[in-house]
C-alpha cells in the first residue's frame, strides 16, 4: 500500500505485514524497555508555545547536511536487519532516500552490502561501520567505503556488547544483526576508544559521525578530537535500559558542542511535530529509525517515500502553526514542559490505531 493518507495507516499496514518475531524486533527494546518508553514520554512532554501574527505564507524547511541537500531536516538512520521488514533491505532504503531527497546512513549489519548499494543507487549516503575485525580490517573497510563514494563514516559507540532483548529471547528470535553480534569478532566493538577516533581522523579524509553520544562531556571531547557530527542517541532504547531520553539530553549536548559541529538526535521521534521539537532544542537534523522501519514494512521504498511526504506536510504545518517560517527561527522559547496526557508507548504517537483505523 503506497496511497497512505496518514502515518497511522502506515503503522497498521506494517503490523499486518510482519510476523510476530519481526514485528517485535522492530518495536521492541532492551530488558524492561524503560529507555524506549522514556524516549517517547519525553518527546510528548515537550509542548508548544506558539507565536502569532508572523507571516508564514511560505514556510522553508530544506537544509544542507554533510554537503548534501536535504528536502527536510530528517535522515534515515542505520537499521540492522532492515531486510527483515522488506526484502530489498538497505538498497530499498537507499532508493527511497534518493527519490525523496534526504540522506541515508547504511548499516554494516544489513544487506545488501555497502558496495552493492553504492553501485545500484547513485547519490550521497553515509556508511555506519561496526568493528568486527582488527585495525587493519577496519582501515580496509573504510578505504573501500571511500572508494565507493560514501560521503561520511558513522561509528556507533553504544554497542560495546549486544543487549538482552527479552521480546526476542522469549520467542527464540535472532535477527541477522543479532547473529553478527553473537559472533566472537563483534567483540572488536568493545575495543573502540578515543584513540580509535584519533587514528581514523589522522589516516582518512572523510567526515566522521559519532552516534550514541548521551553526555555533554563526551560531546565536547568528540569535537576536540575532530569528530565532524555529534549524534545524540540511545539506540532507540535497544541497548542500555533505563537511560535518560535523548530529547532531554539534547540541550546539554548542544550547549557543549556550542555550534562547532552539527548535532543529530534520534529516539522516539515519530511525527512532524516531534521533528520540530528536536529542532527547537538545537538539533540540526533528526533521525527517525523506527519510522523508517515501519514504512519499509508497510510497503518498501514506495511506502517510505509516501511516509516522508506525509512527514514533510506535518513539519510544514507545525512550523506554520507555531508562527515560524524558517528553520533558523526555531528556538527553545517555543517549547515548555508539561505533564504527559497518556501512558508512553513505542506507538503512542498513533493513538487511533486502537480504534481500528
Active-site annotation, residues: 235
Q: How far is CA 148 from CA 121, 126, 141, 298, in A?
A: 11, 11, 11, 30
In the chain the first and final C-alpha atoms are separated, in Å, by: 14
Q: Which of 152, 157, 144, 141 is nearest to 105 (CA)?
A: 152
- Would the CA dihedral through 237, 341, 44, 83 be positive or negative? positive
Whole-angstrom distance, CA of residue 193 vs CA of residue 153: 16
DSSP, collapsed to helix, strand or coil, labels residue 202 as helix
Under 8 Å CB-to-CB from 84, ≥6 apart: which residues? 22, 25, 26, 175, 176
Pairing of strands 126-129, 105-107: parallel
Assigned C-alpha cell, 1 = 500500500
Whole-angstrom distance, CA of residue 345 vs CA of residue 36: 8
Pairing of strands 285-287, 74-75: parallel
* Residue 152, H or E segment: strand 152-156
Q: Which of 117, 129, 115 is nearest to 89 (CA)?
A: 117
Under 8 Å CB-to-CB from 16, ≥6 apart: which residues? none
Under 8 Å CB-to-CB from 195, ≥6 apart: which residues? none
Amino acid at each position: 500500500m503506497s496511497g497512505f493518507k496518514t502515518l497511522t495507516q502506515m503503522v497498521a499496514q506494517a503490523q499486518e505485514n510482519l510476523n510476530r518475531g519481526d514485528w517485535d524486533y522492530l518495536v521492541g527494546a532492551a530488558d524492561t524497555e524503560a529507555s524506549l518508553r522514556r524516549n517517547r514520554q519525553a518527546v510528548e512532554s515537550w509542548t508548544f508555545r506558539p507565536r502569532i501574527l508572523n507571516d508564514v505564507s511560505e514556510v522553508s524547511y530544506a537544509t544542507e547536511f554533510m554537503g548534501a541537500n536535504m528536502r527536510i531536516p530528517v535522515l534515515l538512520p542505520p537499521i540492522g536487519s532492515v531486510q527483515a521488514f522488506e526484502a530489498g533491505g538497505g538498497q530499498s532504503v537507499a532508493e527511497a532516500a534518493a527519490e525523496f531527497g534526504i540522506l541515508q546512513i547504511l548499516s554494516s549489519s544489513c544487506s545488501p552490502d555497502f558496495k552493492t548499494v553504492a553501485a545500484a543507487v547513485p547519490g550521497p549516503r553515509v556508511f555506519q561501520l561496526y568493528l568486527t575485525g582488527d585495525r587493519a580490517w577496519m582501515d580496509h573497510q573504510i578505504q573501500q567505503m571511500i572508494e565507493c563514494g560514501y560521503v561520511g563514516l558513522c561509528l556507533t559507540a553504544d554497542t560495546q556488547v549486544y543487549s538482552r532483548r527479552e521480546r526476542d529471547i522469549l520467542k527464540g528470535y535472532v535477527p541477522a544483526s543479532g547473529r553478527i553480534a553473537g559472533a566472537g569478532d563483534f567483540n572488536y566493538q568493545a575495543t573502540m576508544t578515543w584513540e580509535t577516533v584519533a587514528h581514523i581522523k589522522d589516516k582518512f579524509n572523510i567526515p566522521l559521525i559519532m552516534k550514541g553520544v548521551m553526555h555533554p562531556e563526551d560531546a565536547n571531547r568528540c569535537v576536540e578530537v575532530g569528530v565532524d557530527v555529534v549524534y545524540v542517541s540511545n539506540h532507540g532504547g535497544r541497548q542500555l535500559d533505563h537511560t535518560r531520553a535523548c530529547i532531554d539530553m539534547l540541550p546539554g549536548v548542544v550547549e557543549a558542542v556550542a555550534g562547532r559541529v552539527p548535532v543529530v538526535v534520534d529516539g522516539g521521534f515519530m511525527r512532524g511535530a516531534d521533528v520540530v521539537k528536536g529542532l527547537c532544542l538545537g538539533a540540526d537534523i533528526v533521525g527517525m529509525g523506527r519510522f523508517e522501519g515501519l514504512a519499509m514494512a508497510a510497503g518498501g521504498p514506495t511506502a517510505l517515500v509516501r511516509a516522508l511526504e506525509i512527514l514533510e506536510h506535518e513539519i510544514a504545518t507545525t512550523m506554520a502553526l507555531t508562527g515560524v517560517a524558517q528553520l533558523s527561527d526555531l528556538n527553545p522559547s517555543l517549547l515548555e514542559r508539561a505533564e504527559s496526557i497518556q501512558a508512553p508507548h513505542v506507538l503512542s504517537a498513533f493513538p487511533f490505531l486502537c480504534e481500528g483505523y
